[in-house]
């Protein structure tokens, strides 16, 4: 089975045991690709992988070919993207500014569009390029995700709004950031087996935490161990084991918001 996810610590934490032979897989084998989230979204639109991590922002566009798994995703409270700038800016002025967004089909873009529907001057970038774009003035503000949530203040940047907080106050449910989808052409029993294997992989990683495996470290590039653990603590939680009723309601809300914004 072809499997793709990001090199971010939360994804490598989740899939480490599954793809590196640390748990019994019942004969399932994986050809693994690690890419940034926007690339994963584009691959999902192309139907390239059997199973892949996606931003929930792209889910409405791929439901004909993929189905969402109950495990392996990233949802929660206090986990949403942040809008940052070099200096404080009044929120009513945001719609007139140049905004950097981490990918067109990302959840971050959907949440930003929900909060600022009039903002049209957007530049779509790989997420780790956005802080520098704000610092060098090529954009006025940027939406940051992943480890940049933990480092932007060290660079003298200011938070304008927490888009996750905005979502939570408007809709009273967790923020659905990323999920795991599998092709509908794969038999149901295989999908269910994969779903449970992902849960077992998460449990294995938690049983060894806070120790960080070499797989997590080598894919985290220059990130400090402290930031890796912040990343895992924020994005890997009970929703990663199972969406549950609250998680499924959050996904339904996102699909509804997408349809409202796109129509």
In the predicted model, residues of the chain with pLDDT beneath 50 are none
State the pairing for strand pair 99-101/141-144. parallel
- pLDDT, tens digit, 9 for 90 and up, residues 168-187: 999 999 999 999 999 999 99
DSSP code for 213: P
pLDDT of residue 261: 78
**107 carries a ligand binding annotation:** yes
**54 carries a ligand binding annotation:** yes
Rg of the chain, C-alpha, whole Å: 18
Q: Which domains does the chain carry?
A: 2-76+176-262 (3.40.190.10), 82-171 (3.40.190.10)
Whole-number Å distance between alpha carbons of 137 and 159: 16
**12 carries a ligand binding annotation:** no
For the entire predicted model, the pTM comes to 0.87
**77 carries a ligand binding annotation:** no
Q: Give 48: exposed, middle or buried? Use CB within 10 Å, 0-12, 13-18, 19+.
A: middle
pLDDT of residue 123: 96
pLDDT of residue 250: 94
Q: What are the structure tokens assigned to 241, written together?
A: 């084991």
pLDDT of residue 263: 65
Secondary structure class of 197 (helix, strand, coil): helix
pLDDT of residue 46: 97
Catalytically active residues, by annotation: 146
């Amino acid at each position: 089975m072809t499997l793709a996810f990001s090199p971010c610590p939360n994804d490598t934490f989740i899939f480490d045991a599954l793809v590196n032979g640390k748990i019994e897989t019942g004969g399932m084998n994986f050809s693994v690709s690690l890419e940034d989230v926007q690339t994963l979204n584009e691959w999902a639109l192309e139907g390239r992988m059997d199973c892949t991590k996606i931003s929930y922002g792209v889910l409405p566009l791929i439901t004909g070919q993929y189905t969402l798994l109950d495990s392996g995703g990233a949802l929660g409270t206090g986990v949403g993207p942040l809008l940052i700038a070099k200096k404080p800016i009044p929120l009513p002025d945001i719609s007139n500014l140049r905004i950097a967004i981490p990918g067109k089909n990302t959840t971050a873009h959907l949440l930003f569009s929900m909060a600022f529907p009039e903002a049209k001057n957007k530049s779509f970038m790989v997420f780790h390029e956005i802080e520098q774009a704000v610092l060098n003035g090529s954009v006025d503000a940027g939406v940051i995700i992943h480890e940049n949530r933990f480092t932007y203040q060290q660079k003298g940047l200011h938070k304008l709004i927490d888009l996750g907080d905005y979502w939570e106050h408007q809709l009273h449910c967790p923020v659905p950031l990323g999920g795991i989808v599998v092709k509908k052409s794969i038999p149901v029993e295989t999908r269910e087996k994969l779903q449970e294997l992902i849960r077992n992989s998460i449990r294995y990683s938690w049983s060894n935490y806070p120790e960080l495996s070499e797989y997590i470290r080598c894919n985290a590039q220059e990130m400090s161990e402290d930031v890796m653990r912040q990343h895992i603590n924020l994005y890997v939680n009970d929703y990663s084991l199972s969406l549950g009723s609250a998680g499924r309601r959050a996904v339904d809300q996102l699909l509804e918001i997408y349809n409202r914004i796109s129509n």
